[in-house]
Amino acid sequence: VILSRTRAGVCTLTLNRPDRLNAANDDLLLTLTAELKRAGADAEVRVVVITGAGRGFCAGQDLGDVSGRDMTFTEHLNATYNPLIRTIRTLDKPVISAVNGVAAGAGASLALAGDIRLWAQSARLIEVFSNIALVPDSGSTWFLPRLVGYNRAFELMALAEQVGADAALKMGLCEHVFADDTFADDVQAYAERLAQRPANALKLTKQALNAAVTGTLDEALDQEAALQQLAGDHWEHQEGVTAFKEKRAPNFVRA
Protein backbone atom coordinates (compact mmCIF):
# COMPACT_ATOMS: atom_id res chain seq x y z
CA VAL A 1 0.00 0.00 0.00
CA ILE A 2 3.02 2.30 0.46
CA LEU A 3 5.99 2.39 -1.92
CA SER A 4 9.24 3.67 -0.43
CA ARG A 5 12.33 4.85 -2.29
CA THR A 6 15.32 6.88 -1.11
CA ARG A 7 17.45 8.86 -3.55
CA ALA A 8 19.94 11.63 -2.80
CA GLY A 9 18.77 11.96 0.81
CA VAL A 10 15.11 12.17 -0.22
CA CYS A 11 12.76 9.39 0.93
CA THR A 12 9.61 9.30 -1.18
CA LEU A 13 6.60 7.48 0.29
CA THR A 14 3.94 6.83 -2.33
CA LEU A 15 0.35 5.96 -1.38
CA ASN A 16 -0.36 3.08 -3.70
CA ARG A 17 -4.05 2.27 -4.14
CA PRO A 18 -4.45 4.13 -7.44
CA ASP A 19 -7.73 2.46 -8.48
CA ARG A 20 -9.34 3.97 -5.35
CA LEU A 21 -7.57 7.36 -5.71
CA ASN A 22 -5.41 6.15 -2.79
CA ALA A 23 -8.35 6.13 -0.39
CA ALA A 24 -7.06 5.15 3.04
CA ASN A 25 -7.66 1.90 4.85
CA ASP A 26 -6.06 0.98 8.17
CA ASP A 27 -3.22 -0.86 6.47
CA LEU A 28 -2.30 2.22 4.43
CA LEU A 29 -2.47 4.57 7.43
CA LEU A 30 -0.49 2.34 9.79
CA THR A 31 2.11 1.50 7.13
CA LEU A 32 2.55 5.16 6.17
CA THR A 33 3.03 6.10 9.83
CA ALA A 34 5.56 3.28 10.33
CA GLU A 35 7.42 4.26 7.15
CA LEU A 36 7.60 7.90 8.31
CA LYS A 37 9.10 6.77 11.61
CA ARG A 38 11.57 4.52 9.81
CA ALA A 39 12.61 7.40 7.55
CA GLY A 40 12.91 9.61 10.62
CA ALA A 41 15.41 7.15 12.14
CA ASP A 42 17.35 6.53 8.90
CA ALA A 43 20.54 8.64 8.85
CA GLU A 44 20.57 8.51 5.04
CA VAL A 45 17.22 10.34 4.85
CA ARG A 46 17.21 14.15 5.17
CA VAL A 47 13.79 14.97 3.64
CA VAL A 48 10.58 12.92 3.34
CA VAL A 49 8.07 13.29 0.50
CA ILE A 50 4.50 11.94 0.68
CA THR A 51 2.76 11.58 -2.69
CA GLY A 52 0.18 9.42 -4.46
CA ALA A 53 0.30 6.87 -7.29
CA GLY A 54 -1.93 7.47 -10.30
CA ARG A 55 -4.27 10.43 -10.74
CA GLY A 56 -5.19 10.92 -7.07
CA PHE A 57 -3.28 12.04 -3.98
CA CYS A 58 -5.66 10.60 -1.37
CA ALA A 59 -9.48 10.42 -1.41
CA GLY A 60 -9.70 10.16 2.39
CA GLN A 61 -11.19 7.22 4.23
CA ASP A 62 -11.95 4.26 1.96
CA LEU A 63 -15.73 4.24 2.22
CA GLY A 64 -15.84 0.64 1.01
CA ASP A 65 -13.47 -0.63 3.69
CA VAL A 66 -15.00 -2.10 6.81
CA SER A 67 -11.80 -2.59 8.79
CA GLY A 68 -12.55 0.32 11.12
CA ARG A 69 -16.15 -0.57 11.70
CA ASP A 70 -15.61 -2.61 14.86
CA MET A 71 -14.31 0.59 16.44
CA THR A 72 -16.09 3.83 17.26
CA PHE A 73 -15.21 6.84 15.09
CA THR A 74 -13.24 8.26 18.00
CA GLU A 75 -11.28 5.05 18.49
CA HIS A 76 -10.64 4.79 14.76
CA LEU A 77 -9.26 8.34 14.52
CA ASN A 78 -7.12 7.89 17.63
CA ALA A 79 -5.72 4.60 16.34
CA THR A 80 -4.91 5.55 12.74
CA TYR A 81 -5.33 9.11 11.40
CA ASN A 82 -4.26 11.06 14.47
CA PRO A 83 -0.95 9.23 15.02
CA LEU A 84 -0.17 9.81 11.32
CA ILE A 85 -0.74 13.57 11.50
CA ARG A 86 1.18 13.81 14.79
CA THR A 87 4.07 11.83 13.31
CA ILE A 88 4.33 14.24 10.36
CA ARG A 89 4.44 17.33 12.58
CA THR A 90 6.84 15.87 15.15
CA LEU A 91 9.22 14.14 12.73
CA ASP A 92 12.77 15.52 13.04
CA LYS A 93 12.94 16.00 9.26
CA PRO A 94 11.03 18.19 6.79
CA VAL A 95 7.99 16.42 5.32
CA ILE A 96 6.74 17.53 1.90
CA SER A 97 3.14 16.87 0.88
CA ALA A 98 3.50 16.41 -2.89
CA VAL A 99 -0.12 16.66 -3.98
CA ASN A 100 -0.26 15.05 -7.42
CA GLY A 101 -4.06 14.89 -7.75
CA VAL A 102 -7.29 15.08 -5.80
CA ALA A 103 -6.98 15.39 -2.01
CA ALA A 104 -10.35 14.83 -0.30
CA GLY A 105 -11.50 14.39 3.28
CA ALA A 106 -8.69 13.11 5.48
CA GLY A 107 -6.62 13.21 2.27
CA ALA A 108 -7.06 17.00 2.29
CA SER A 109 -5.82 17.05 5.88
CA LEU A 110 -2.80 15.00 4.80
CA ALA A 111 -2.16 17.48 1.98
CA LEU A 112 -2.21 20.36 4.46
CA ALA A 113 -0.14 18.62 7.15
CA GLY A 114 3.21 18.73 5.35
CA ASP A 115 5.86 21.28 6.33
CA ILE A 116 6.03 22.16 2.63
CA ARG A 117 3.13 21.61 0.22
CA LEU A 118 3.92 21.21 -3.49
CA TRP A 119 1.01 20.78 -5.92
CA ALA A 120 0.69 19.57 -9.47
CA GLN A 121 -1.34 21.90 -11.70
CA SER A 122 -4.26 19.43 -11.83
CA ALA A 123 -4.35 18.83 -8.06
CA ARG A 124 -7.43 19.89 -6.12
CA LEU A 125 -8.49 19.86 -2.49
CA ILE A 126 -11.97 19.18 -1.17
CA GLU A 127 -13.05 19.30 2.47
CA VAL A 128 -15.52 16.67 1.42
CA PHE A 129 -16.62 15.57 4.90
CA SER A 130 -19.96 17.41 4.92
CA ASN A 131 -21.00 15.53 1.77
CA ILE A 132 -21.30 12.48 4.00
CA ALA A 133 -22.41 14.58 6.99
CA LEU A 134 -19.17 14.21 8.95
CA VAL A 135 -16.94 16.73 10.71
CA PRO A 136 -13.55 17.59 9.17
CA ASP A 137 -10.91 15.53 10.96
CA SER A 138 -7.22 14.58 10.85
CA GLY A 139 -6.27 18.18 11.59
CA SER A 140 -8.32 20.00 8.94
CA THR A 141 -10.12 22.16 11.54
CA TRP A 142 -6.71 23.23 12.87
CA PHE A 143 -4.82 23.69 9.58
CA LEU A 144 -7.39 25.35 7.35
CA PRO A 145 -8.52 28.37 9.45
CA ARG A 146 -4.86 29.20 10.12
CA LEU A 147 -4.33 29.40 6.36
CA VAL A 148 -7.54 31.01 5.10
CA GLY A 149 -9.26 32.37 8.21
CA TYR A 150 -12.32 31.09 10.04
CA ASN A 151 -14.97 32.19 7.57
CA ARG A 152 -13.41 30.89 4.36
CA ALA A 153 -12.60 27.63 6.16
CA PHE A 154 -16.21 27.29 7.25
CA GLU A 155 -17.48 27.92 3.74
CA LEU A 156 -15.08 25.39 2.17
CA MET A 157 -16.14 22.82 4.77
CA ALA A 158 -19.88 23.54 4.68
CA LEU A 159 -20.19 23.52 0.88
CA ALA A 160 -17.40 20.98 0.20
CA GLU A 161 -16.14 23.40 -2.44
CA GLN A 162 -13.25 22.25 -4.59
CA VAL A 163 -10.04 24.33 -4.54
CA GLY A 164 -7.83 24.08 -7.64
CA ALA A 165 -4.07 24.64 -7.74
CA ASP A 166 -4.08 28.32 -8.73
CA ALA A 167 -6.60 29.21 -6.03
CA ALA A 168 -4.71 27.04 -3.52
CA LEU A 169 -1.52 28.97 -4.21
CA LYS A 170 -3.31 32.29 -3.70
CA MET A 171 -4.99 31.05 -0.52
CA GLY A 172 -1.75 29.70 0.95
CA LEU A 173 -2.72 26.03 0.81
CA CYS A 174 0.50 25.28 -1.05
CA GLU A 175 3.93 26.86 -1.57
CA HIS A 176 4.46 25.98 -5.25
CA VAL A 177 2.55 24.61 -8.24
CA PHE A 178 4.43 22.57 -10.85
CA ALA A 179 3.33 21.31 -14.28
CA ASP A 180 1.75 17.84 -14.26
CA ASP A 181 4.24 16.41 -16.79
CA THR A 182 7.31 17.26 -14.76
CA PHE A 183 5.77 17.10 -11.28
CA ALA A 184 7.73 14.12 -9.89
CA ASP A 185 11.06 15.51 -11.16
CA ASP A 186 10.27 19.01 -9.90
CA VAL A 187 9.38 17.63 -6.46
CA GLN A 188 12.59 15.57 -6.35
CA ALA A 189 14.69 18.61 -7.35
CA TYR A 190 12.99 20.77 -4.72
CA ALA A 191 13.46 18.07 -2.06
CA GLU A 192 17.14 17.63 -2.96
CA ARG A 193 17.63 21.38 -2.52
CA LEU A 194 16.01 21.15 0.90
CA ALA A 195 18.22 18.15 1.70
CA GLN A 196 21.32 20.35 1.32
CA ARG A 197 20.13 22.64 4.11
CA PRO A 198 21.41 22.23 7.70
CA ALA A 199 19.43 19.27 9.08
CA ASN A 200 19.88 20.02 12.77
CA ALA A 201 18.86 23.67 12.35
CA LEU A 202 15.78 22.65 10.33
CA LYS A 203 14.79 20.09 12.97
CA LEU A 204 14.95 22.78 15.67
CA THR A 205 13.18 25.33 13.43
CA LYS A 206 10.30 22.89 12.91
CA GLN A 207 10.09 22.34 16.67
CA ALA A 208 10.11 26.09 17.35
CA LEU A 209 7.47 26.88 14.71
CA ASN A 210 5.15 24.10 15.81
CA ALA A 211 5.31 25.35 19.40
CA ALA A 212 4.95 28.99 18.32
CA VAL A 213 1.74 28.57 16.31
CA THR A 214 -0.07 27.35 19.41
CA GLY A 215 1.62 29.52 22.03
CA THR A 216 2.08 33.13 23.08
CA LEU A 217 4.88 35.49 22.01
CA ASP A 218 6.43 35.14 25.47
CA GLU A 219 6.52 31.36 25.12
CA ALA A 220 7.96 31.64 21.60
CA LEU A 221 10.75 33.94 22.75
CA ASP A 222 11.70 31.52 25.56
CA GLN A 223 11.51 28.54 23.22
CA GLU A 224 13.69 30.28 20.61
CA ALA A 225 16.28 31.13 23.23
CA ALA A 226 16.46 27.49 24.35
CA LEU A 227 16.54 25.97 20.85
CA GLN A 228 19.07 28.55 19.62
CA GLN A 229 21.55 27.12 22.13
CA LEU A 230 21.14 23.67 20.56
CA ALA A 231 21.59 25.13 17.06
CA GLY A 232 24.53 27.33 18.02
CA ASP A 233 26.39 24.45 19.69
CA HIS A 234 26.07 22.25 16.57
CA TRP A 235 28.85 21.87 13.96
CA GLU A 236 26.48 23.10 11.25
CA HIS A 237 26.60 26.57 12.78
CA GLN A 238 30.41 26.61 12.72
CA GLU A 239 30.36 25.50 9.09
CA GLY A 240 27.86 28.22 8.16
CA VAL A 241 29.88 30.99 9.80
CA THR A 242 33.20 29.70 8.43
CA ALA A 243 31.78 29.43 4.91
CA PHE A 244 30.46 32.99 5.14
CA LYS A 245 33.87 34.31 6.18
CA GLU A 246 35.63 32.29 3.49
CA LYS A 247 33.09 33.55 0.91
CA ARG A 248 32.09 30.02 -0.17
CA ALA A 249 28.90 27.93 -0.09
CA PRO A 250 28.44 25.98 3.16
CA ASN A 251 28.51 22.19 3.10
CA PHE A 252 25.85 20.97 5.52
CA VAL A 253 25.98 17.36 4.29
CA ARG A 254 28.87 15.48 5.86
CA ALA A 255 30.29 12.70 3.75
Residues that bind ligand LHQ (CB under 6 A): 20-21, 23, 59-64, 68, 73, 76-77, 81, 102, 104-106, 126, 128-129, 131-132, 134, 137
Q: How many CB atoms lie within 10 A of CB 214?
A: 9
CB neighbour list of residue 82: distance below 8 Å, 6 or more residues apart: 138
| Nearest CA-CA partner of 104 in 32, 68, 56 | 56
Residue 40 CB, nearest approach to ligand LHQ (Å) = 24
Q: Tell me whether residue 10 or residue 58 sits nearer to ligand LHQ (CB atom).
A: 58
Q: Tell me whether residue 52 or residue 68 sits nearer to ligand LHQ (CB atom).
A: 68
Residue 121 CB, nearest approach to ligand LHQ (Å) = 15
Residue 120 CB, nearest approach to ligand LHQ (Å) = 14
Pairwise CA distance, residues 122 & 113, whole Å:
19
Q: Tell me whether residue 56 or residue 198 sits nearer to ligand LHQ (CB atom).
A: 56
Q: Tell me whether residue 67 or residue 242 sits nearer to ligand LHQ (CB atom).
A: 67
Q: Tell me whether residue 137 or residue 236 sits nearer to ligand LHQ (CB atom).
A: 137
- Beta 124-126 vs 116-120: how paired, if at all? unpaired
Pairwise CA distance, residues 150 & 147, whole Å:
9
Pairwise CA distance, residues 61 & 242, whole Å:
50
Residue 168 CB, nearest approach to ligand LHQ (Å) = 15
Residue 57 CB, nearest approach to ligand LHQ (Å) = 9
Dihedral, CA of residue 239, residue 240, residue 245 and residue 250, to nearest 10? 80
Contact between 14 and 53 (Cβ < 8 Å):
yes
Residue 105 CB, nearest approach to ligand LHQ (Å) = 3
Calculate the alpha carbon distances from 178 to 18, 116, 121, 166 in Å. 21, 14, 6, 10
Q: Tell me whether residue 119 or residue 190 sits nearer to ligand LHQ (CB atom).
A: 119
Pairwise CA distance, residues 85 & 140, whole Å:
10
